[in-house]
Structures are given as C-alpha cells and as structure tokens.
Amino acid sequence: MRLSESCEKHDARTGVVKPLTNVPRPTGVSGNSLTHRPGRTLTYRRLRNSYHVCKVFNHTLTGGSNESGFLMIAKAALFRCVAAIAFMLLFFAACDDDDDDGGNVAGPSQPRPSVTFIGSENCGQCHSAIFNEFRKSGHPYKLNRVVNGQPPSYPFSTVPNPPAGVSWNDVAYVIGGFGWKARFIGQDGFIITAGGNNQFNLATDEFVDYHKDELKPYNCGRCHTTGYQATGNQDGLPGLEGTWAAPGIQCEECHGPGSLHATTPGTVRLTVDTRPEACGKCHNRGGINNMIPASGGFIRHHEQYNEMVAGGHEFLSCVTCHDPHTGVRYNDLEDAQAIRLQCEACHSDARPSLRDAPLAAVKADFDCESCHMPFAAKSAVKFDTYVGDVRSHLVTINSDVLAEPFDGGTANHYLTLEFTCLGCHTNETKEWAAGEALNVHGDYGANRALGWAR
C-alpha cells in the first residue's frame, strides 16, 4: 500500500523539514493493527537519521512486531529539543490556584481580526465522529455555564446539588464535574467558599472544604476556556478574570478559530499541532519543564507534561499514545481507541518477561500501567497512603530501597516502590518490595534494576 497524502521528512541531525509525496507503507509501525481515521497524524521511522510525519486519509496500516522501527524515533529528540527551547520561553504559570486546576500557561494565539470562533457544535456538523468522541472526554467540561437555574449535564457523571444553602439559581458556572470534582462560581463571578464544604468530590459523593471563607476569584480561564483573553471580566462579573469565546476546552482552543475553514474548508486548514508542548501548555504546573511540584505526599495534578519529560519519554508526543479527542477517565467500550499505541509496541521484550515471570502466577490481572503508571498524583481524593486519583506519567521505576519519591516540594524523576508496590501491597514493607520487584519481569527486570545501583 502506498500513501500519497501530505507527508514531511524530518532530519534528526539538521532539523530540516522537507515535503514528501508517494511515501511507501511504513515498515516501522509496531504492535497490533492500527486503524487511522481520516485526518489522523502518523509518525514513523523510515531512515537512519530521519523520520516521517504523514497525514493519513482512509488508510489502514497494519504493523508487525518490529520494535526498533518505533523506538528509533527517539533519535529525533534533538530536533524536538531545539524547537521546544523557544516554546519554553513563551510560557509560564499564570494561575494562582495553589492546590488545584491552575498554575498553567496561556492558550493558543488569539484569532486574527478576520477569523472568528464558531463553536464546537458547528465543527460537529462535518466532523461528527470526532465531535461525538470529544464530547465524551473531559476537555469540554472544564467550565460549564448554568442556564436558567438548570445544572450542567455530563456524559458519565452527575453533580447533584450545589453546596448547602446555595441553589442552582445562585450559581453562574460549575468548574469541572467530569471525572474528579466540581466547584461552583456565584453570580458575582467569585468561587463560592462561604462556610466551606464547597467542593464536590465525585468518587466519594461528598462535599469538602476548598479555601473556606476566602475571597477566591476565578482566574483559571487560560486552561479552562476557549479563546481566552487576559483582559476584562467575562459576563461583566468582577470575580471572572479575563474573557473567553466559550467555556471549556472546545475544538477551536486547539485547532484555532474556525470561521474561514467552515466557509472554505478546501483551502483553509486548521491548526493540527502534534508537539508535546501543545498539550503541555496546560498539562503542566509551574511551566514547560521537567520540574514536578508535589504536596501532601502526592504529585499535584495536571502535570503530565512535566512527568513525561522528566521520566524519559521526552522524545515522544502525547498523541503518540493518546487520541486527544477521546477520554480515558471512564471505561467506555466505545472509546477503545483512546490509547493509540500500547506499551508493548515499543517495549516488546518487556511484555513476554512480565507474562513468564514468577509474579505472573500470583497476580494475573495487572498490566504495564499498574506499576509504571500508578495513582501517584492527586486531584480530589486520596484513597490510601500511596493511592491518589490520577495516574503518573513518570513511568520509570527506581527499585532501590533507599530511593525517595520526593525532594522537598518536588517529585524526583522516577517512581519509587511506595507507589509502584505498596499501593496494592499495603501490609508489606519497602524492603519486601525491593526484593520482590526483581521477580516482576524475571531476569529481564533484574538486569534492568541493577542499573540503579551502578
């Protein structure tokens, strides 16, 4: 099979990008059959010092088990780093929410005067399949308007009531409500804090205190809204800092305003930015870097970019593994393509070693994510000493019994046995875990674990 779509060749040594045509079917795609719907972007390795990025239209690519084909994309890291340096200088944390949903950087560039936002529903008129997936993800529900005293609706969750003593008529917006928690903004634009018990945690179905009795403006629009502007007050409400085209992360926050594309779709294309920094501008805390803020014994949430860079996967894009239109919070069978690339597609030697190791006979229902992406971060609820409610993206494990997860107010660049083992084995010790960790992957794991001692 041959591709004749829009492709580019990226030279990892020089950074030169050249257009390509008539690109043959890639030999470096690993893992199971990968079906790419129209408009998806595929990155794959073809040459010794370059890789190709192609826009795929109505093609199905079936990969074999060639591990090296995908892993060698890592050699393009130099090119990514050069591009990222300039990007890093542009973005710094701007939201002062000291423990949740803030500390992010500005959204994409604002629309040109001739281009306007048209709303996700209009995008869905043509892109119905992607739109329907997107509406089941968490992005559009970061901020939700309360209309005529009626609570927002969500695809998988429910926010039953506002805080005690507050009616829905008193609420202008709900912050969140999908996945983890909900907070409430009053008709003056300030977050409702009077009396406490003002944050609703979905997992435990209870209200808890959030900045009780403080005057708390809503200043997280940079990463909770679409088309954010730092000036003015949305809806004329003094507590809403900045203005926006639409609440929540809608299609146009990532793809840019769509008015011209909607009228001339054949000639005006929207932004498709697959760089990790494109996601990292909001999925970070403290800036686009490898520092990982932590507090209360957990990594603080929305730091996936910081963790990915620190943990050794900085040569990948977020969309290498994730479909950005599909959520992973809820177990929806229709969202089977939420993860585009499974771990074993690159780590093909680790999967057999996990299956054949002694521990496999004891616990057959764990997977790569169980140990390499434990719930080491917390957004709303702490379920146990080493179990939060957000999976870590550090991935790398340090099995040294002396390794510590945190260094002051930041997490180290690896996971430790507290989170990888003791979150499940709650009655065991770290010393026990250090010995048993060598059995998880058998000889393969033991040999890799020795690297920490060298």
pLDDT in tens, 6-58: 555 544 334 444 555 444 433 333 333 333 333 334 443 333 334 444 443 33
Residue 384 DSSP one-character state: B
Residue 78 DSSP one-character state: H
Return d(Cα 297, Cα 183) in angstroms, integer. Answer: 23
**Residue 222 identity (one-letter amino acid):** R
Kindly write down the DSSP assignment for every residue of 32-89, as one continuous string. Answer: SEEEE-TTEEEEEEEETTEEEEEEE-SEEEE-BS-HHHHHGGGGGHHHHHHHHHHHHH
Count CB atoms within 10 A of the CB of residue 58. Answer: 9
pTM more than 0.85: no
- Residue 404 phi/psi, 5-degree rounding, is -110, 145
**Per mean pLDDT, which range of 71-85, 388-402, 432-446 is the poorest?**
71-85
- Asked if residues 386 and 376 have their Cβ atoms less than 8 Å apart, the reply is yes
State the virtual CA torsion across 363, 299, 138, 381 in degrees, nearest 10: 70
**Residue 216 identity (one-letter amino acid):** K
Count CB atoms within 10 A of the CB of residue 365. Answer: 5
Residue 277 pLDDT > 80: yes
In the chain, domain spans: 2-64, 120-263, 294-453
Q: Give residue 192's pLDDT.
A: 98
- Asked if residues 139 and 249 have their Cβ atoms less than 8 Å apart, the reply is yes
pLDDT in tens, 395-433: 999 999 999 999 999 999 999 999 999 999 999 999 999
Write the CB contacts of 317 (distance below 8 Å, at least 6 apart in sequence).
43, 274, 275, 276
Which pair of structure tokens corresponds to residue 109? 């560039």
Return d(Cα 143, Cα 312) in angstroms, integer. Answer: 33
